[in-house]
Amino acid sequence: MKKYFLSVAMLVACFISAKAQVTVGAKAGVTFSKINTDELKESSVAGYQVGGFARIGSNWFLQPELYLGSSGGKFESDDNTYSGKVRFTTLNIPVLIGKSFGQEDLNLHLVAGPVYSAILSDSRSFGDNVNEAFRNYKSSTLGFQAGGGVDVGNITVDLRYEGGLSKVSNYFDQRQSLWALSVGYKFF
Residue 35 has pLDDT above 60, yes or no: yes
Biggest CA pair distance of the chain? 76
Number of compact structural domains in the chain: 1
The confidence score (pLDDT) of residue 52 equals 97
With respect to residue 117, please indicate whether it lies within any of the assigned structural domains: yes
Enclosing domain of residue 129: 21-186
Q: Which residue has the higher pLDDT, 35 or 155?
A: 155
In a domain, 2, yes or no: no
pLDDT tens column, 2-20: 554 455 445 444 444 545 6
Residue 135 lies in a domain: yes
Confidence (pLDDT) at 8: 47
CA 60/CA 91 separation, integer angstroms = 26
Look at residue 16 and tell me if it is in a domain: no
- CATH number, residue 95: 2.40.160.20
Residue 12 maps to a domain? no
* Band (110; pLDDT cuts 50, 70, 90): very high
DSSP string across 81-121: S-EEEEEEEEEEEEEEEEEEEE-SSEEEEEEEEEEEEEEEE
**Residue 13 within any structural domain of the chain:** no
pLDDT band at 132 (very low <50, low <70, confident <90, very high): low
- Dihedral (Cα; 130, 132, 134, 136), 10-degree rounding: -170
Q: Is residue 171 part of a domain?
A: yes
167, 143 Cβ separation under 8 angstroms? no
